[in-house]
Amino acid sequence: MDVVLLVALLACNGKGSDSAQAEAVFKNTYRTAHGLPCLAPPYLFWRFSYGNDADYYHNGMVWPFVQGYWAWAAASRGNAQVFGAELDALTALAARDATFHEFYRPDGGVPDGSPRQLWSAAGYLAMVHYGLCGMRIDADRIRFAPVVPAKFGTIRLRGLRYREMVLDFEISGTGTSVVRCALDGNPLPAPEIPLTLSGPHTVALTIS
């Protein structure tokens, strides 16, 4: 999967042929049982110019940061099925060794590369922040468009720091449509908050 293609999916405005093309990509892109591979189909052989054999390193392996981009793209399109599948896959991979590895083998999900990889953890956090919590950060506000698969109950996220804010989230329901948004218990006309806020605040969202 080319990261440029993922960025293109994120940039699509959800209208007309862009929407149809994005859904076609989600439908037809190959996934392993353990998540999206960085390259498919794999090359038969790969050799670094330094002379070190690495016929597996970037060759069809499952890299969490790529999974993060894929899930983020799905969330931006409101595709709960694709988003949920990738979230489940990476959660299961990380649980195998209580850490986020550099990458995983696609056949059995065996951890490989180095453990405690920050970019792998960041891919997972992107699924939480931009998927489950649906954060869309603009120049002057944060909009919320959560994508919550059916298996979830109430979601609570505490102490997310952004600029001068410390945000707590409570998200009720499943789906992709926001039916209610409140800030510190006060209903908001739209699911968004300004970036001028400071200090602790609670964002409560109900979705269907």
- Residue 186: the pLDDT is 98
pLDDT confidence bin for 53, thresholds 50/70/90: very low
- CA–CA dist 119, 157 (Å, integer): 21
98/173 same-domain check: no
Tokens of 78: 């409101």
Instruction: Tell me which residue range forms the domain holding 50.
Output: 1-132
Rounded percentage of the chain residues whose pLDDT exceeds 90: 73
**Number of domains within the chain:** 2
Q: Tokens 């999967």 sit at which residue?
A: 1
Kindly provide the residue ranges of all beta strands, DSSP E only, lying in 32-164, ordered along the sequence.
103-104, 111-112, 135-137, 141-144, 155-162
Short-list 81, 73, 204, 75, CA closest to 150: 81
Long-range contacts, 54-57 (Cβ 8 Å, 24+): 56/105, 56/112, 57/103, 57/113
Domain stop point among 132, 160, 195: 132
Please tell me whether residues 98 and 38 are part of one structural domain. yes
Residues 25 and 64 in one domain: yes
The CATH number of the domain where 198 resides is what? 2.60.420.10
Name the pLDDT band for 45 (thresholds 50, 70, 90): low
On the 0-12 / 13-18 / 19+ scale of CB atoms within 10 A, 141 is middle
Bridge partners (DSSP) listed for residue 156: 170
Q: Are residues 38 and 89 in the same domain?
A: yes
Same domain, 103 and 73: yes
My answer on whether 75 and 21 are in the same domain is yes
Residue 18 is predicted with a pLDDT of 75
Statement to judge: residues 45 and 103 lie in one domain: yes
Same structural domain, 33 and 104: yes
Check if the beta carbon of residue 72 is closer than 8 Å to that of residue 89.
no
- Predicted local distance difference test score (pLDDT) of residue 10: 54
pLDDT band at 60 (very low <50, low <70, confident <90, very high): confident
Read off the pTM.
0.86
Asked if residue 91 and residue 14 are part of one domain, the reply reads yes
Q: What pLDDT does residue 6 have?
A: 56
- Find how far residue 87's CA is from the centre of its chain: 7
106 and 24, same structural domain? yes
Q: What is the DSSP string of 120-137?
A: HHHHHHHIIIIIIS-EEE
pLDDT value at position 22? Answer: 84
Are the C-beta atoms of 130 and 146 separated by less than 8 Å?
no
Percent of the chain with pLDDT over 70: 86
Give backbone dihedrals phi and psi of 8, rounded to 5 degrees, phi first: -60, -40
What's the one-letter identity of residue 197? L
